[in-house]
Structure 1
Amino acid sequence: MYNKPWGHPHGGHRPPQYCPPQAMPVQYDPSQTSPTRHFVKTNIINTVIPVFHPAHITTVNKHVITYKHYFQQRNNGVNGYYPQAFSCGPSRSRFGY
């Protein structure tokens, strides 16, 4: 706060300058070996075996014969009238005879 001139963007210090990077030689460490991993590889082999099932088909044709019998007849109607007469005893005349 005390050694900074007022109004300077970097607080009184110059911005840093960067040098280009230097590539150093490659270094090698001793090799490492991880434990052996065990893999199981499965091969699937498809085999087709044709199987034949022979069959013999006998076709039976059934012919159905239908007989339809019709009996024609005539009908006559007869109306009968049967008069009945009843004797109910002596009648009384209105006139007193």
Structure 2
Amino acid sequence: MYFLAINRIKPDVEPREVGAAIAAHIAWTRRMISEGKMVQAGKWGNDGGMAIIRADCMGEARSILDQDPLVTSALVAVEVARLHPDVEIP
């Protein structure tokens, strides 16, 4: 299954706080992609990011996302939804 995760910087977070954690976040993202747990990730608007997570269930997807340094540092709020594709590549 695939899950779409959208994270947004919390309103009370200073940009410098995010800047200090972004290198660890990018390293974590690359590791998740190399391990096959994440399919794609990138910016989402001006204040957040998105990721497509590969997991067996919502609990596993959330467990993966809970390891993100931006999440463990309480800098972002994350919304996760299961993708229900209408059309897929065969």
TM-score of the aligned structures, taking structure 2 as reference length: 0.14
Structure number with higher relative contact order (C-alpha < 8 Å, ≥ 6 residues apart): 2
Larger fraction in helix: 2
Specify the structure having the higher radius of gyration (Cα).
1
